[in-house]
Amino acid sequence: MTKTKKMAAQKSATPPQGAQEVAAGEWVGKSQAMFERMLQEVPDAMRGIFREKLMQVLKQKAKGGPAAESHVLEIVQEIVPEPFKSNILKAFSTMGDIDMSVVEEIINNNPGGQETVISILHAIQAKCGYLPQEALILVSQKKGVFLSALYRLATSYKAFRVKPPKKYAVTMCNGTGCHVTEGGQILRELEKKVSENGSQITLEKVRCLGCCDMSPAVMINGELYGGAQAQARIAEILHE
């Protein structure tokens, strides 16, 4: 091989600047959720092809390092046409401050297929307090479940919330045992408070909290209160 040919061969073996891969598993902040949100604008049938192409662009922008939110933002601003661009940017602006690495860890801790989705959603809600849209998008992508199916699941099961809870997530028992021991009165007062403007209470009624011996029973932000303790805590919230 001549010296010139050898140099040309060496040059072609060197990856072009910026073509190195995004470091495995490294997504900074909400970058992965943003990337997946961007792909939601692409019709299902085309999404696979677009994912591949846009991932290549992302890798070039990341230059072998982790994918940052700014890289995804640049792709949207430089490549995506209107009206999809505006839709995506609007969706980005309303993304909550969710630590997506937590969501990813939950997904990784639940290996398997679609049968793992319910446990994953429960775990996400336990961590985040609700099911953020970006988390659902990630679950949809990782588990191969349509986002629409996840939304249906999240909105038809009472156990799930798709909106962040207010300051106080109150689950009040409306079972007979609690109802007759001041529970009914407490519930009416809570409902009145909830109907007021700017109320900081999210109220849910259940038929039994499984602790009838300590009626009236109520759960406030995951903590169980019963009897006089429940009445005192509810009174504090009502007068706040």
Smallest separation, CB 217 to ligand FES (Å) = 4
Nearer to ligand FES, 51 or 205 (CB): 205
Choices 38-46, 104-112, 203-211, 229-237; region in contact with ligand FES by CB under 6 A = 203-211
Smallest separation, CB 216 to ligand FES (Å) = 7
Nearer to ligand FES, 127 or 205 (CB): 205
Smallest separation, CB 54 to ligand FES (Å) = 51
Binding mask of the shown chain, residues 158 to 187, with x at each position contacting ligand FES by CB under 6 A: ---------------x-x-xx---------
Q: How far apart are CA 59 and CA 37, in angstroms?
A: 17
Q: How far apart are CA 190 and CA 206, in angstroms?
A: 14
Positions 210 through 229 that interact with ligand FES (CB under 6 A):
211-212, 215, 217
The two beta strands, 217-220 and 223-226, are antiparallel
Tally the residues of the chain.
240
Nearer to ligand FES, 31 or 215 (CB): 215
Contact at 8 Å (CB) between 172 and 186? Answer: yes
Smallest separation, CB 228 to ligand FES (Å) = 15
Q: How far apart are CA 71 and CA 35, in angstroms?
A: 9
Instruction: Kindly list the distances between the CA atom of residue 73 and the CA atoms of 84, 91, 93, 95, 202, in Å, as whole numbers in the listed order.
Output: 13, 12, 11, 13, 34
Smallest separation, CB 175 to ligand FES (Å) = 3
Q: How far apart are CA 40 and CA 42, in angstroms?
A: 5
Nearer to ligand FES, 121 or 209 (CB): 209
Contact at 8 Å (CB) between 130 and 204? Answer: no
Indicate the DSSP class of residue 123.
H
Q: Which residues bind ligand FES (CB under 6 A)?
A: 173, 175, 177-178, 208-209, 211-212, 215, 217
